[in-house]
Amino acid sequence: MTTGIADPTSRRLREVSESVTLAITAKAKALRAQGEDVIGFGAGEPDFPTPGHIVTAAQAACVEPANHRYSPAAGLPRLRTAIAAKTVRDSGLQVEDEEVLVANGGKHALYNAFQALVDPGDEVLLPAPYWVSYPEQIRLAGGTAVELPTDAVSGFRVSVEQLEAARTARTKVLVFVSPSNPTGVVYPPEEIEAIGRWAADAGVWVVTDEIYEHLVYGDARHVSLPVVAPEARERCVVVNGVAKTYAMTGWRVGWSIAPVAVTNAMARLQSHATSNVAGVTQAAALAALEGSLDDVAEMRATYDRRRRLTHDRLTAIDGVTCPLPEGAFYAFPSFEAFLGRRIGGRQVHTSLELCEALLEVARIALVPGEGFGAPGYARLSYALGDDDLVRGLDRLADALG
């Protein structure tokens, strides 16, 4: 609606763009609501329901009056303890409860971390392709994201040489994520160690995002940066959560692990911004972390099968190149060969236009690489049912064939 009043929103927020992932998902949902048969490769979330024992724990928590009240902004003490215990179990990192801060998802934990560490003018090293929210969150903290491009030739992995070349007196933080969204790349342990050592030598903080730690396939294995490079531990914020591992994206529980001074600063921010995470969802997260990893192993086996199928189908399309993803649940093919061509009677010049054409012509939703700092590529999530996956990949092959 045009009101004649000048845009009242702050300069800060005017500069923030909408998440391209959510935008394409919303478009696909709107078409579906109109009765269209759209297959969505866009959403970054498991298609499984949350395991039953977690839901049961949440149901029990609903009738517990303590969960009807405010609770400590930093998280329920028992959950902080469980997160510390889970961290040593899964990655070998020893953690004190006071280093743990429970947040409304990994996204919120990342937001807190940039707010706590970054001053206006500080530079944050950001390997590209990157997850869409990092640059916006860095900007919201007043920082400058310094993009470090990687490509299929370099295995989508940043090198210590690149980091060193980008370092300036203003460099404050490095964002590190493995397994990666959007590329599905998992860094080998020795490269993580070298990056951690470089950061420690350079006095650079590392925000290391481990949200996909349990979703690794084949020979790939997840190692935690402060475990293989203990010298980086005192300048490290580890971010994690239950969303991807336990199919709990909607519950909104994540956390950070950081030196106590940083954790306390983030807790202060949270105490004014959001207060505690809902008690019922903290109870659900507790059940997830204190339970077994059997359901996770089953989901991982399914993703692994879908990963191979997706990769086989994609690389069978003439002109599409795609490394075999090793972690998370995304494939990140290059569609550069199709730029300048016609898709369904429409000439496409960019991966954004290609994705728009694919939604229009083939009724499939892919996320264009532009949002990840990687034009020419697109991201497909393979966390969708087998039938839809096959039908969607058939449609892609037909549209590009």
Site of interaction with ligand PLP (CB under 6 A)? 44, 105-107, 131, 177, 181, 209, 211, 241, 243, 249, 254
The residue written with tokens 């959560």 in the block is: 241
Closer CB to ligand PLP, 351 or 381, in the complex:
381
Q: Closest separation between CB of residue 173 and ligand PLP, Å? A: 15
Q: Closest separation between CB of residue 317 and ligand PLP, Å? A: 26
**CB contact at 8 A, 27 and 256:** no
User: 378-381 and 330-331: which strand pairing?
Assistant: antiparallel
Residues near 261 by beta carbon (within 8 Å), at least 6 away in sequence? none
Q: Closest separation between CB of residue 272 and ligand PLP, Å? A: 20
> What would you measure as the largest C-alpha separation in the chain, in angstroms?
61
Q: Closest separation between CB of residue 316 and ligand PLP, Å? A: 27
User: Among the residues of 230-350, which ranges form H helices?
Assistant: 260-273, 279-290, 294-315
Q: Which is nearest to 39 in space by CA: 350, 380, 313?
A: 380
Closer CB to ligand PLP, 105 or 325, in the complex:
105
Closer CB to ligand PLP, 180 or 351, in the complex:
180
The whole-angstrom separation of Cα 180 and Cα 36 is 32
Closer CB to ligand PLP, 193 or 209, in the complex:
209
Closer CB to ligand PLP, 108 or 313, in the complex:
108
Q: Closest separation between CB of residue 63 and ligand PLP, Å? A: 26
The residue written with tokens 């995002």 in the block is: 209
Q: Which is nearest to 333 in space by CA: 349, 353, 317, 309?
A: 317
The whole-angstrom separation of Cα 198 and Cα 102 is 29
Specify the amino acid at residue 324: L
- HSE, side-chain direction, 13 A CA sphere, residue 245: 23
The whole-angstrom separation of Cα 106 and Cα 244 is 10
Q: Closest separation between CB of residue 65 and ligand PLP, Å? A: 28
Residue with nearest beta carbon to ligand PLP: 105
* Token pair of 348 as six digits: 């496409």
Q: Closest separation between CB of residue 330 and ligand PLP, Å? A: 9
Closer CB to ligand PLP, 45 or 394, in the complex:
45
Closer CB to ligand PLP, 299 or 362, in the complex:
299
